Structure 1
Amino acid sequence: MIKKLFMRDFRNFSEVSLSFSDKLNVLTGENGQGKTNLLEAIFFTGMLRSFRTSRVADMKKIGSQSFYISCEADSDGKWTKKLEIEYGELRKLKIDSSIVKKASEFIRNLMTVAFSPDDIAIVNGNSRIRRRFIDICISMESPSYMSALLEYSEALLSRNRLLRSVSPDIKILRAFEPVMAEKASVISKYRLDYSELLKKEMQKILCDYMRDETDFDIRYRNSSGTFSKDEYMNKFEKERNKDILRKMTSFGPQTDEFDFFLNSKLLRCFGSTGQCRFISLCLKMAELNLLLKTEENIKKAVVLVDDVTGELDSRARDYFFKVINRAGQTFFTFTSVPTDKYFKEASIYKINSGRVASLYV
């Protein structure tokens, strides 16, 4: 859980230092004042990614060349770690003042799960959003998956850059392919396994909440049609000339798809807005449940809830709070101080134009 947070030049925050409650924290303020920005900083500290954008430059305060986040994380009094992130032209990571070179060594110190109105795009948005959701879920549990994903992405970027050149060198193209084939095989196997786990957890949630039989399915479509390194290598050999003409790598994890079905209906094509929003919320709860399988993860878990409870009825709210209350620490955003029963013990903070004040802690 987060004990203290310091930010400099992050979004609309020039400089702010905060201490938080061990359990429940509520951020209040009018729209556009920085509530979601603060949640984003916490999420970024845990995952080195934003839940809002894929562009790190978007998180730098306007006119600034870099941003800095420092977080003091505690695990039920058993250990305290200082996590530091500085993003300028280069990324600098530190744990307890020691430089960390690999992202996979940094992210498991704080496990952040964010609930946002934009989560509906996981269900009805494009395939990139679904891949990103699955990648974040697996990366929190498996540093080896994140390493494979980063290595594959770097090789893919280099191969595509070469493919866009006037006359790609075949020998250099071939040099990237063994690494890509090996990492693609790892990625696809992890994605298949996690899809099955997520489907089972979703079925439990829907059965528990709906109180009747609801048919939910996730179908992972591996665009390469293989999970074997050797078969990936064969596909590279077969598709290389076509890729040169296309000027891009036409297959691999970057083109995989995850199809969500409710009662045999493909949701992104035939689901109503209400159904897609409900299933997206359930997917995030399933993600959290899978993360909280161990006592260690429960203590590290930080849940961030950005304006997703307003449309829930009382039974849905009760169920939602039952799920998230298992996490070590939670943060909510509201435009005004909530008065319902869930927040009687909460610490309340007021955010106004990038400044934060404690109302009561």
Structure 2
Amino acid sequence: MLLEELQLHNFRNYADTKVQFSPGVNIFIGANAQGKTNLMEAIYVLALTKSHRTANDRELIHWKQKRATVAGRVKKRLGSVPLEVQFSGRGKRVQLNHLFQSRLSTYVGSLNVVLFAPEDLAIVKGAPVVRRQFMDTEFSQMSSQYLYQLSRYNQVLKQRNQYLKQLKYHQQTDQVLLGVLSDELAAAGGQLIALRATLLHQLEHWAADLHHHISTEKEDLTFKYASQVEVSEDQTASDYERQLRERYHQNKDHEIELGTTLSGPHRDDVHFFVNGANVQSFGSQGQQRTTALSVKLAEIDLMKSQTGEYPLLLLDDVLSELDDERQTHLLTAIQDKVQTFLTTTSLSGVARQLIHQPTIFRITDGHVQKEETQ
């Protein structure tokens, strides 16, 4: 999978821009606040229809403009496919192969990306919500079924929480509807947990090998899916559904008292262990960074195994956060393997030595200039 071309209209600080990329390493170089990360964000938006930097789509539209467009052409095994995401005051619309899609779920997965930014180190040491967002974002690209169940679960969860609040404040008294919503939430939650557990197990396989190599065979990385239900390889989606239904029944009075749902995949977490010790709590900063790097690189191979094609790799100012050894492992792992986009204020040291024939783009105040090869 390759992104051959990107076109921006009124996106962030880009008025009208068209860029053609190479299949290898594409480097965006420029001073801070010139638009390097905006360009990277546009690729992410083209893939997932949303930004990794803001939840407010209005911020993506160029100042004083009413709409913005991100478009691109993706080369896949069966040919090139045009993609487009439009933002306006009315919301967003997406086009796949020049056809508007009524559901985002039919669009997401057309272009797969793995983003690695400095804040992604929080995958290991951040709050549980960070790891849930990580799972949901990455697994949704790999599995349309995951995206469907996640959307279904979040919709019913919102309805159930609203009804719990109404029961709390005596705006409603009928608990029959609560039972119906609980059953629907348990069904969607059971499917979601089963999919998460399966994909996490596969991600662990790839990450463990990478971590073992990066740590010069001194460390073993393992995952644990932490849930309020019992998660194991011999459990099925129906088993998780039954356990969730039981928890909703047991906690009904307490949930009404609090006005919120206390159990389900929206409360789950992932724990990482290095040589049997929880790296979030007891790992050194080096172990935490190696774990984060291993997990992000493992996504590339997992996506390839799930979709049949490698994703794009987006490295947003991440080299500055890694020492020379980890930079070496990162750049060696991706060399001649995946199309890569990298932002930096300068290219020096390990990166200059290891990156073979990069295509360099100079970014200045929302303008992109490709450097001529020597």
Q: TM-score, normalised by structure 2?
A: 0.87
Give the equivalent residue in structure 2 for 1:87.
87
Aligned residue in 2 for 1:323: 333
Separation of aligned partners in 2, 1:154 and 1:352: 42
Q: Distance in 1 between matches of 2:180 and 2:10?
A: 41
The amino acid of 1:83's aligned partner reads L
Alpha-carbon distance in structure 1 between the residues aligned to 2:113 and 2:338: 10
Structure 2: distance between partners of 1:295 and 1:221: 27
- What does residue range 28-177 of structure 1 map to in structure 2 within 5 Å? 28-75=29-76, 78-88=78-88, 89-165=90-166, 166=169, 167-168=171-172, 169-177=174-182
Does the CA contact (< 8 Å) of 1:119 and 1:277 recur in 2?
A: no
8 Å Cα contact 2:335-2:355 kept in structure 1: no
Pair 1:196 & 2:197 matched: no
Alpha-carbon distance between aligned partners in 1 of 2:51 and 2:285, rounded to the nearest angstrom: 24
- Given the alignment of the two structures, is residue 209 of structure 1 paired with residue 191 of structure 2, yes or no? no
Three-state SS of the structure 1 residue aligned to 2:371 is strand
Q: Distance in 1 between matches of 2:85 and 2:265?
A: 28
Say which is worse superposed, 181-190 or 208-217, in terms of deviation: 208-217
- Residues 155, 179 of structure 1: 8 Å contact kept: yes
CA positional deviation for 1:312: 4.3
Distance 1:312 1:228, change over 3 A: closer
Q: For residues 79 and 220 of structure 1, what CA distance do their matches in structure 2 show?
A: 38
Q: Is the 8 A contact 1:33 1:354 kept in 2?
A: yes
Q: Which amino acid aligns with 1:222?
A: S
1:234 corresponding residue in structure 2: 246
Q: CA deviation at 1:357?
A: 1.9
Q: In 1, distance between residues paired with 2:63 and 2:128? A: 31
Deviation at 1:302, TM superposition (A): 0.9
Q: In structure 2, which of residues 179, 187, 199 is the aligned counterpart of residue 182 of structure 1?
A: 187
Distance 1:247 1:71, change over 3 A: same
Q: State the shift of 1:129 in Å.
A: 0.5
Aligned-pair identity in percent equals 25
One-letter amino acid matched to 2:84: E
State the TM-score, normalized to the length of structure 1. Answer: 0.90
Decide which of 303, 307, 311 is 2:317's aligned counterpart.
307
**Aligned-residue RMSD, C-alpha:** 2.3
Distance 2:356 2:206 in 1: 30
Q: Structure 1 residues 170 and 66, CA, compared in 2 at 3 Å: closer, same or farther?
A: farther
Corresponding letter in the other structure for 1:216: L
Partners of 1:29 and 1:352 lie apart in 2 by: 6
Q: Which moved more, 1:322-331 or 1:284-293?
A: 322-331
Higher mean displacement: 177-186 or 340-349: 340-349
Paired letter, 2:328: D
Shift in Å, 1:23: 2.1
Q: What SS does the corresponding residue of 1:21 show, helix, strand or coil?
A: coil
Contact 2:211/2:291 (CA < 8 Å) preserved in 1?
Answer: no
Letter matched to residue 242 of structure 1: H
1:193-246 per-position Cα deviation (integer Å, ceiling 9, x unaligned): 222222222221122222324132211111244743233223222322221111
Q: Where do 5+ consecutive residues of structure 1 fail to align?
A: none
Distance 2:178 2:133 in 1: 26
Residue of structure 2 equivalent to 1:335: 345
Greater mean deviation of Cα atoms: 40-49 or 169-178: 169-178
Q: Distance in 2 between matches of 1:67 and 1:154?
A: 28
Q: Helix, strand or coil: the match of 2:161?
A: helix
Which of 248, 257, 265 pairs up with 1:253?
265
Distance 1:340 1:66 in 2: 39
